[in-house]
Amino acid sequence: MTHHYTIEIISKKLFFKATYRNNKFRKLEHLRGELDQEIMDAIGQTIPVNEDDIGDFNKKWFKRVNYQIEVKQAKSESLYKRFLDEWFNFYQQMNGIKPKFTGTDGKALNQIIGYFKQLTDTEDEALTGWQLILDNWEYLSDFHKKQVDIKYINSKLNVIITEIKQQIGTTGDVGQQFEV
């Protein structure tokens, strides 16, 4: 496993990135700060050969060198993935099987996302609008209820929203959501 550490030589305001793979030192990168020959000669004393020794080096060089592991933040799911997950769950619930999904379906989903983004201020609000449609599918006419294909939903989105609003009425929470 590969880990990266930011190493700061505090008095010189120098920053390096040390890379360790399988507990062994692999490389050192200069990130910022001015280097001189004295630093170049001394830098090796501050870099442990084994990653397990970083704790000891941190104690040895306390208040002179700072060792900080870099933690990659998990990427939040894209809006596309969140919309897709909602539809996959909806489709499976309606049909009992996983849907086939093609590039044409992806294009239709992107168009749906674009529409909801135009209606709302945030991505979360756009997703909520999509969820409201799928959660209130039961209010559609029998013909539309049977049409759960993403391409069909995209092509009839105006009709679907209108039907849901008419069936529930604009006084309920759902009706107000579609007034964005």
Q: Are residues 93 and 131 in contact, defined by beta-carbon separation less than 8 angstroms?
A: no
3-class DSSP state for residue 172? Answer: coil
Amino acid at residue number 159: V
For tokens 């007034």, name the residue: 179
Between vectors from CA 55 to CA 50 and to CA 61, what angle results, nearest 5°? 100
pLDDT reading at 173 higher than 50: no
Q: Are residues 77 and 67 in contact, defined by beta-carbon separation less than 8 angstroms?
A: no
Work out the average pLDDT over 53-76.
Answer: 83
Where is pLDDT greater, at 45 or 180? Answer: 45
Q: How confident is the model at residue 133 (pLDDT cuts 50, 70, 90)?
A: very high
3-class DSSP state for residue 95? Answer: helix
